[in-house]
Amino acid sequence: MTDSERIKRNITEIMQSLPPDVVLVAAAKTRSADEVNTAVTAGIDAIGYNYIQEAERMRPLVEGTLPWHMIGHLQRNKVKKAVELFDMIETIDSERLALEVNKQSVAVDKVMPVLIEINSGKESNKSGVLPEDAIGLIRRINHLSNLVIVGLMTMGPRFGDPEDARP
């Protein structure tokens, strides 16, 4: 079985197991344009990139019109480019970042859907607002004109046995 066939088979199996309202975002970090295009034709709903530079390089090579999501940590000095490149930012973790995303979105007359990144494992080496601070952050930024909070994003700590990650 070729890599392309394996990608298509895996995506088909995943899509069949998901409820229809779930969006499958393919994390395309370090993948070739051919691999990403295979995933697009197999039926993914969106493309996710961790790094602006990689997304910028890949954008002209990836076929289709799927939404592009910023799924990596976003530095404030890169927000302008992120607002230009992406259709959603999944890693809002501070008021300062939200204010900058809103400012850059206003400048290009774009309303940016965002997810609030929660550091649910309270890991010092991961980004995200702490769970106990999330509601406060949401309340402080919910009024921004060109930023729409559509949900939360979190990645729990890694364990050898996935069951160990359960609360």
Q: pLDDT by residue (tens digit) across 106-140?
A: 999 999 999 999 998 888 888 999 999 999 999 99
Contact (CB, 8 A) for 145 and 101: no
Global pTM? 0.89
Range of the domain at 39: 1-71
Residues 1 and 65 in one domain: yes
Q: Is 41 exposed, middle or buried (0-12, 13-18, 19+ CB in 10 A)?
A: middle
Q: How confident is the model at residue 4 (pLDDT cuts 50, 70, 90)?
A: confident
Residue 77 lies in a domain: no
Residue 86 lies in a domain: no
Residue 31 lies in a domain: yes
Using CA atoms, how far apart are residues 13 and 8, in angstroms rounded to an integer? 9
Contact (CB, 8 A) for 93 and 117: yes
Residues 67 and 105 in one domain: no
Residues 125 and 64 in one domain: no
Residue 104 lies in a domain: yes
Residues 2 and 67 in one domain: yes
Closest to 117 measured CA to CA, from 92, 136, 87: 92
Q: How confident is the model at residue 156 (pLDDT cuts 50, 70, 90)?
A: confident
Look up residue 156 and give its DSSP letter.
Answer: P
Chain position carrying tokens 């973790």: 93
Residue 103 lies in a domain: yes
Residues 8 and 47 in one domain: yes
Q: Quote the pLDDT of residue 158.
A: 72
pLDDT digits (tens, 9 = 90+) for 54-83: 999 999 999 989 999 999 999 999 999 999
